[in-house]
Structure 1
Amino acid sequence: MKYLKIFIILLSFSLIFACSKGDEVVVKAGSSKLTKKELQEDLKSLPPQTKVFLPSPEGVNRLKDELIKREVLYEEAKKKDLAKSEEFKRRVEEFKKITLINMLLEQELKNLPQVTEKDAKDYYEKNKDQFIKPTEIRLSQIVVKNEEEAKKVYEKIDKGEDFGNIAKELSKDEKTKASGGDIGFFKKGQLSPQIENVAFNLKKGQISMPLNLNGNLYIFKVTDVKGTAVEFEQIKEQLTEQLRAKKQQEWFNSYIEELKKKHKVEVNEKALQEILNQNLIGGKPEETPQKTK
């Protein structure tokens, strides 16, 4: 299906057919026809950066070439009766499902309040410690021997348990566990590159993924940051987008929970596991044990 999207990098169709009628045929290949209206619908998804190519004569020729490719391929597919195949029907149904889901989400998201610059500014003022360009950070650590122990650490973190208390309970590093894993302040250049690349990209209060160092797994938390605050104007667009994404994700999670209550959901766990075993794990479906006589 990839070739059907090739033309999105090309130029606006309006330059070529500005005087065409709404239903005029733009390209014809055998019995296949592409009308102006159909093409205009296709080109609505053009990204803004693509439109810089609109005035180019080369773009006009490339557009025509891509439209011809699309229609001759479509005509050939019809001649081979691929539309009658079960695979085609399956793909069409899948496409319909995804399209309807996207249309539903687009419709529902229209009712979601937009994140404004004021919202971003308010968040910035209340959380300035998140927007410090660090020159020095204070770290705490938990050291474990394997992934199973690391999993236990993250389970406790997810439950809201204090990082320092978890370090006292589970950390294997005897030198730091008594202090809740605190290892002090560090400036850039004082840590190994592997640790520094991770730690200096964490914000205050954030916890790292486990790092494999010297045969153990290290989990770090930034407990304090010293440095200079990033000006709001430098990050307002990025922050607004982050808050928008967060709001949409929160709405989506809530919306899904509502729909689960509204629509009866049933999962055949046995059938699901059999499919996973056959197609992903590479195993065979379990056979029902037979009694021995």
Structure 2
Amino acid sequence: MSSLQKDIFKKGNKSTALSEPELRKATSEASLSPYDIQSKAENNGGPLFVLHHGAGYSGLSFALAALHIKNLTNSEFTIFAYDCRGHDVLKAAFGDDVITNREIFLVGHSMGGCVVADAASKNLIPSVTCMAVIDVVEGSAMEALSGMLNFCRNRPSEFKTVEDAIRWSKKSGTIRNLESARISIPCLLIEQETCTNIKKYTWRTDLAATQPHWKGWFSGLSEKFLSPSAAKLLILAGTDRLDKPLTIAQMQGKYQLMVLPEAGHMVQEDIPEKTATALLDFWKRNEKLVLPKKPFVVDK
């Protein structure tokens, strides 16, 4: 872990608007070194928070939110944020019995929300107690698919430096929190050399190439989100994202809705501390109640 990354984790989130010279200085300190953000409870038996990133992002999009969860719980919870590369990651990381013996809180952002809702609706993880989906709704997502391809085409396809990519993410409003961008953007890029031996950085994931799968990702999301017995939380950056089925379900009390209008789509990066607090408060209200064992009395 670089000294910059250590400083970020010591300071926490201090999101501020920076001038262009300040932004240039701050981004020049960015590091390419990726690192894990896994916080393990010592007894390995406490609650397990599983954080699934959105399309084109990485586990580091939860870096600052995970830090705040760790601090707010005195490291008593296990936090597992990973780069989605395959299946059965929970069993690989924690053993075959994790899906039955651990209380699990599934959290998914954007496309990651589709993944956790699908897994919960199929009861693939029986020990799920809570589920949170961050800024993705079936109706608005399906409507926005046509504009998604334009977004992929219009964003820069390459950068001269990592600092340029971080600066772009901040100025474009893609990630509004500079500290978050400094952590998560570098690992989304790969370094390449041109024919003239000049380095450039391109996106690791070609989002446009995944277009054939977009409709399948979001189709049926509302039903999948509402069907599990686990307690459900939907965090949105604006009420305009809420579609009709979820509006009705929210009025019927089938899930809890939280709107954080000060954030953009990258809610957990823009306001990580508020995101962490919201997740922990929801967990505390819905965790399983463990009653104390009755004392054993010997008849005389």
> TM-score w.r.t. structure 1 length?
0.24
Structure with higher RCO (Cα < 8 A, 6+ apart): 2
Larger Rg belongs to: 1
